[in-house]
Amino acid sequence: MKLIKLRLLLSLGLVASLAACSSLPTSGPSHTAVLEANSRNSDKPLPEVNLVELDNGLVQQLYQTQQSQQFSGFLGTVGSAGYAGAVNVGDVLEISIWEAPPAVLFGGTFSSEGQGSGHLTQLPAQMVNQNGTVTVPFV
């Protein structure tokens, strides 16, 4: 009798633990959401998704041909977009300035011990002008 109760209790525990897996939070889209992402029946603009099937042979081939790549190679536009590896007139730059302690130039704060903290300031986007310069305060 005890053996039957133990088996029943273990079976119920197993079912409950497996059912709990479906209620755990997830990160990212579901398999179905990825497959349906390219359908344009949605009112929301969705980016297109490219699915690539990986198998062991393809992974081994990619691993063997692994090499360091330049950032410009990811876009596939080297040469056609006029990219020459330099900043040109009309380019828009995002500039961040990190101030080491005591950071007081762009609004750093002091602690109660009189110690300043480092501070990161994100400047508005800067377009390179006809002279090839941008305006950065205090530089």
pLDDT of 131: 84
* pLDDT value, residue 1: 75
Of 85, 59, 53, which is closest to residue 72 (Cα–Cα)?
85
Distance CA 101, CA 108 (A): 8
Q: Which two tokens stand for residue 121?
A: 């300031």
Would you state the pLDDT for residue 26? 61
Question: Residue ranges per domain, the chain?
Answer: 91-109+117-128
The residue among 124 and 70 whose pLDDT is bigger is 124
Nearest Cα residue to 32 out of 19, 51, 45, 18: 51
% of the chain beyond a pLDDT of 70: 49
101, pLDDT greater than 70 = no
Q: In this structure, which amino acid lies at residue 81?
A: A
Q: Is the pLDDT of residue 63 over 80?
A: no
* Distance in angstroms (rounded) separating the CA atoms of residues 76 and 73: 5
Tens digits of residue pLDDT in 10-62: 888 888 777 766 666 666 667 777 667 666 566 666 556 666 777 888 888 87
Residue 96's closest CA among 119, 122, 116? 122
